[in-house]
């Protein structure tokens, strides 16, 4: 069974209802991906830092209940996790507001435990991180992360980078661009979106995707219900049927999970993209980042689990 480590931050999630009331949950882009990976039968651990408070305890309990491993979680006494609020418009598009400046996850690569964490990451078959992951750390922390990633690659681990970009997480565009270029040079799998690239690079966003020829697998999610898949011997568009979204939160996170799970089960790049569209199309028809377990496509989970068992035999 292949092992995956997802790196990032989980925050307290408050979702605003139409009547102004708030419902509480937990979420974060790479954490969402980790949960969907686990639901699809992948062995996955989450790497982050939490406090020693009751909310952090709840997070850990909920991850374990979902099958997400917590061996890579560092607990920091006296600290509290970050918080964000989701507001959704009548088209299902969401807006995020964050309170996270002192969140423990921001110190993950500047702790006494950091060396042990970096050495532990070498044991995994795939490391997944995002642009939001990069925005958590200062320059020193990002350097420690990239050093760990290079050691993992040298040991045969594959690296997947998702371009998920939030301008509010960065002091300036120059810092973000520099970090993204470093990530592009470190990745084996690129999960990009046209929206992210244009938001960060402006009109040259599409051109940045074209320059990433060193990356073995490149996925570009387009504005419509389709994505472009590119690799050594493929460059094509994979379309999907449009849906009427209720909430687009975690659309990209769930796509990434299904795509990576399919690739780990030796599905082709095109088939993996179709599977990514399939799960994302289900997720956006439910409110919140994590849909009920009962809404997961059982056929997909069964098929992937069967392939994992065959490949491990």
Q: Please state, in angstroms and rounded to a whole number, the distance separating the CA atoms of residues 212 and 222.
A: 17
Residue whose tokens read 């681990």: 157
Residue whose tokens read 């990633």: 149
Q: Please state, in angstroms and rounded to a whole number, the distance separating the CA atoms of residues 63 and 290.
A: 12
Residues 6+ apart with CB under 8 A from 232: 216
Active site residue 253: yes
Spot the catalytic one: 29, 196, 253, 266.
Answer: 253
**CA separation, residue 206 to residues 100, 117, 135 (Å):** 31, 35, 22
Residues 6+ apart with CB under 8 A from 101: none
Active-site residue set:
253
């Amino acid at each position: 069974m292949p092992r995956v480590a997802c790196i990032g931050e989980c925050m307290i999630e408050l979702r605003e209802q139409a009547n102004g009331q708030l419902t509480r949950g937990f979420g974060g882009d790479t954490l969402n991906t980790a949960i969907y990976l686990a639901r699809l039968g992948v062995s996955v651990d989450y790497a982050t830092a939490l406090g020693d408070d009751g909310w952090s305890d709840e997070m850990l309990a909920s991850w374990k209940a979902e099958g997400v491993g917590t061996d890579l979680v560092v607990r920091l006494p006296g600290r509290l996790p970050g918080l964000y609020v989701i507001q959704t418009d009548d088209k299902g598009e969401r807006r995020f507001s964050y309170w996270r400046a002192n969140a423990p996850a921001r110190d993950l690569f500047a702790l006494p435990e950091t060396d042990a964490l970096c050495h532990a990451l070498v044991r995994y078959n795939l490391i997944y991180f995002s642009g939001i992951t990069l925005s958590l750390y200062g320059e020193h922390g990002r350097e420690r992360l990239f050093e760990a990633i290079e050691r993992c690659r040298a040991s045969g681990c594959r690296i997947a980078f998702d371009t998920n970009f939030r301008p509010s997480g960065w002091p300036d565009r120059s810092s973000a661009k520099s970090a993204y270029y470093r990530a592009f040079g470190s990745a084996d799998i690129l999960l990009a979106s046209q929206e992210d690239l244009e938001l960060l690079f402006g009109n040259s966003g599409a051109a940045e995707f074209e320059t990433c020829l060193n990356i073995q697998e490149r996925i570009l999610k387009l504005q419509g219900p389709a994505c472009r898949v590119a690799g050594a011997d493929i460059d094509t568009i994979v379309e999907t049927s449009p849906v009427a979204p209720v909430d687009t939160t975690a659309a990209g996170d769930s796509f990434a999970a299904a795509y990576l799970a399919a690739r780990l089960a030796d599905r082709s790049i095109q088939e993996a993209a179709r599977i990514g569209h399939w799960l994302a199309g289900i997720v956006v028809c439910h409110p919140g980042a994590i849909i009920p377990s009962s809404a997961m496509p059982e056929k997909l989970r069964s098929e992937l689990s069967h392939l994992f068992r065959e490949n491990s035999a």
